Amino acid sequence: MYKIVRKKELNPTVTLMEIEAPLIAAKAEPGQFIIFRAKEDSERVPLTIADFDRDNGTVTIIFQIVGGATMELNTLNEGDCLHDFVGPLGRPSETDGLKKVAVVGGGVGCAIAYPIAKKLHGLGCEVHSITGFRNKDLVILEDEFKEVSSVLKMMTDDGSYGEKGLVTNALEELIKSGNEYDEVIAIGPVIMMKFVSNLTKKYNIKTIVSMNPIMIDGTGMCGGCRLTVGGETKFACVDGPDFDGHLVDFDEAMRRGAMYKDFETNAREASCNLLKQEVKG
Amino acid sequence: MAIQKNMDPKKCPMPVQDPQIRRTNFNEVALGYTYEMAVNEAKRCLNCKNKPCRTACPVQIDIPAFIERVANEDMEGAYRIISQSSSLPAVCGRVCPQETQCESKCVRGIKGEPVGIGRLERFVADYHREHCTEKPEMPVPNGHKVAVIGAGPSGLTAAGDLAKLGYKVTVYEALHLAGGVLVYGIPEFRLPKIIVQKEIDNLKAIGVDIETNMVIGKVLTIDELFEMGNEAVYIGSGAGLPRFMNIPGESLKGVYSANEYLTRINLMKAYKEGSKTPIKHSKKVAVVGGGNVAMDAARSAKRMGAEEVYIVYRRGMQELPARKEEVEHAEEEGIIFKTLTNPVEVLGDENGNVCGMKCVEMELGEPDESGRRRPVVKEGSEFVLDVDTMIMSIGTSPNPLIRSTTPGLETNKHGCIVTDGDDGLTTREGVYAGGDAVTGAATVILAMGAGKAAAKAIDKYIKEKN
């Protein structure tokens, strides 16, 4: 069983959990993901690894409460155990030879962008980070990003924190002011990764995005996580989750990602109703 | 005492759920022989000297010997004989393609129907499960450790055989549940999961450890399994990535691989009311392919409430690779067979949902390298099949996780692990492999046969080394 050793609410919809999983912690690299099941009858849900501690044998996950499965996970507390926790899956992000990189994180995607920024910083690479959130209340990992970035641009949609605007505004500004990046790494909502990729294409800067499609087994068996990349079918679980942003068919990925939207909405409502009943009981 | 033979030219029919009822539920279709039926069918076996049936069995069960016990109403004796060769008899009795194996060689089949060997095997295994209270005997440990990758039919067979020889066996399974294709692929109505669970419990009772949530190649490498004291490793990691046809529209919403569709229904229990696993509730479904997996997907779709379900297959009815019984059951349940038909494009509506499948008709030309007549497109035969879901069941290509993390492990151009001869030795010393990871998608019994052969080879290898 996989014990929760630390739980922290980062904002009202985003939670951090540090999970005891020594074998995974020993192997995990930024960019890889795990699959969890909160309880015995829960869905399998992939989450990219936010951090790991090889000495203490723990893996940190940061998740947004978006559907039934994450809501169920959020009902567990420190000392409780997750029923299943498997990984590290997928290929690690490639960091070899990078000297100057812009790391772009959107919303809870910052949780995945951070370990890459941290690793690059540790390797002596110059890291410029850009984070984007809807508003001030949703900002996470500010101190962490500060520590590993020589430039940090924080954007909010409504201007309630940092600068008002989109991450693409900040990125374009940095590019225009003469920064020459070996690579841009963009992690966040698919629509954000699409627009970052469109922008960097214009400037001909290699761009890596981290895709998080619907997945079941996560080991190369079900094929549910397939994407079209450069006209070819790729599987995020074994070929990714990192892909060349200039080649990914984002529109298709968005359509496929919304396949079970109605079901998810119903599941969330059902979970809420169950919780209410539990509270009443 | 000599037993009066039963000279009925026909097999005792298998009692089944009525097709009209069963297509609305996930309960097992075939209900199994009664005691009397089994004894009576067993008496059809002539116990001939040559035992051709046995040579056609991938795990060489002493078929006439176990059937003789059934005829003599010694069901436990029959079970012991099967157990010597097969670790999963209740499974094989249900899913083996007997008509192309043991039963194809049965002497009774020359002038009538062969003995119902599969049905008798199933009866014996079920009878044992329902009546035997004895715990299996714990083998005497021999002090050696072996790791098995994959808790599917191949890995479980190898693990069972090695454990019986005294090895300390740990099976590493990537999913949260052991069983492999027996739990994620083959549906409940063909193989109840409680039966798989019992077979796995039997292995645990003889000391086999099963560790779930362990993706070998990621969390541990094969080299690390050796460092942990294992003296040999058996790879039974199964088939891998589903194949698609590379036709336009395959990424539309409503196009599934059979693996995904069946995994959602079987492993993740989407067929149960209140399941947390989403699945599309389709009205009209086309399953592309003609194997057992295609039949399973089509019959599952029907049970999930689809009104029309098609099997779309590019060759003819005679060429369908599925078990005969599955094809018959599918037909009885109202699955429509569109043979000599091949999809060329999946059509989508403005929201990206499947709304049809453009197909062409085929005709059979000259035989190809597989010996089957090659299907060729009939000119001007294009038509659109009105469907909202398409399930691709045209095979898989091997999983890359182990080959990409194991130096010295050779694979062929398809990505299948290369093995030497019949005992499954790979290009790495002490590493053996079998089942779909070696052959590409095949059957449960062939995977079991490979697990069995490898267990024997591993035993020999470790004994010679020490």
Residues B224 and B300 occupy one common structural domain? no
Last residue of a domain, one of B379, B394, B409: B394
Nearest CA in chain B to A222: B260
pLDDT score of B342: 96
Residue-wise pLDDT for A37-95, tens only, equals 999 989 999 999 999 999 999 999 999 998 888 999 999 999 999 999 999 999 999 99
Residue A131 has pLDDT above 60, yes or no: yes
Last residue of a domain, one of B370, B394, B418: B394
Residue B381: inside a domain, yes or no?
Answer: yes
Mean pLDDT over residues B46-66, rounded? 93
- Predicted ipTM of the assembly: 0.89
**Residue A167 host element (H or E):** helix A167-176
Cβ B390 vs Cβ B357: under 8 Å: yes
Residue B452: inside a domain, yes or no?
Answer: yes
Residue-wise pLDDT for A199-213, tens only, equals 999 999 999 999 999
Residues B179 and B318 occupy one common structural domain? no
CATH of the domain at B362: 3.50.50.60
Q: Which of A66, A85, A219 to mutate to test the interface with B (most CBs of B within 10 A)?
A: A219
Mean pLDDT over residues B93-108, rounded? 91
Residue B1 has pLDDT above 80, yes or no: no
Residues B456 and B359 occupy one common structural domain? no
Residue B140: inside a domain, yes or no?
Answer: no
Instruction: List the beta bridge partners of residue A208.
Output: A185, A244
Residues B254 and B120 occupy one common structural domain? no
C-alpha to C-alpha distance for A112 and A104, rounded to whole angstroms: 10
Residue A263 has pLDDT above 90, yes or no: no
A264 touches B at CB < 8 Å: yes
Are B242 and A223 in contact (CB < 8 Å)?
A: yes
Residue B27: inside a domain, yes or no?
Answer: yes
Asked, as a colleague might, if the bond just before A88 is cis with ω within 30 of 0, I would say yes
C-alpha to C-alpha distance for B450 and B350, rounded to whole angstroms: 49
Pick from A149, A49, A153, A151: which is nearest to A93 by CA?
A49
Residues B214 and B112 occupy one common structural domain? no
Residues B458 and B317 occupy one common structural domain? no
Residue B308: inside a domain, yes or no?
Answer: yes
Residue B163: inside a domain, yes or no?
Answer: yes
Residue-wise pLDDT for B283-319, tens only, equals 999 999 999 999 999 999 999 999 999 999 999 999 9
Residues B226 and B178 occupy one common structural domain? yes
Task: Record the tokens describing residue A126, joined without a space.
Answer: 């110059």
Total structural domains within chain B: 3
pLDDT band at B137 (very low <50, low <70, confident <90, very high): confident
B218 touches A at CB < 8 Å: yes
Pick from A183, A174, A203, A48: which is nearest to A123 by CA?
A183
Residue B268 has pLDDT above 80, yes or no: yes
pLDDT score of B130: 92
Chain B closest CA to A109's CA: distance in Å?
23
Residue B2: inside a domain, yes or no?
Answer: no
Residue B6: inside a domain, yes or no?
Answer: no
Residues B266 and B228 occupy one common structural domain? no
Chain B closest CA to A186's CA: distance in Å?
24
Residues B390 and B255 occupy one common structural domain? yes
pLDDT score of B86: 86
| CA atoms B260, B261, B267, B269: torsion sign | positive
Residue-wise pLDDT for A4-49, tens only, equals 999 999 998 999 999 999 999 999 999 999 999 999 989 999 999 9
- H helices present in B143-221, as ranges: 153-164, 181-184, 193-205
pLDDT score of A171: 97
Least trusted range by pLDDT, from A228-237, B31-40, B437-446: B437-446
- In the DSSP assignment, the letter for residue A232 is E
pLDDT score of A281: 46
Query: What range defines the domain where residue B434 resides?
Result: 145-240+398-465
pTM, two decimal places: 0.91
Asked, as a colleague might, if the bond just before B9 is cis with ω within 30 of 0, I would say no
pLDDT band at B270 (very low <50, low <70, confident <90, very high): confident
Query: Average pLDDT over chain B, rounded to whole?
Result: 93
A263 touches B at CB < 8 Å: yes
Residues B192 and B281 occupy one common structural domain? no
CB < 8 Å from B in window 81-100 of A: 83-89
Q: CB count, 10 Å around CB of B334? A: 14
Mean pLDDT over residues B174-187, rounded? 94
Residues B382 and B410 occupy one common structural domain? no
Residue-wise pLDDT for B315-342, tens only, equals 999 999 998 889 999 999 999 999 999 9
CATH of the domain at B74: 1.10.1060.10
Mean pLDDT over residues B154-181, rounded? 96
Q: Which residues of A touch B218 (CB under 8 A)?
A: 27, 87-89
Last residue of a domain, one of B108, B131, B154: B131
Residues B123 and B102 occupy one common structural domain? yes
C-alpha to C-alpha distance for A129 and A109, rounded to whole angstroms: 13
B170 touches A at CB < 8 Å: no
Are A222 and B215 in contact (CB < 8 Å)?
A: no
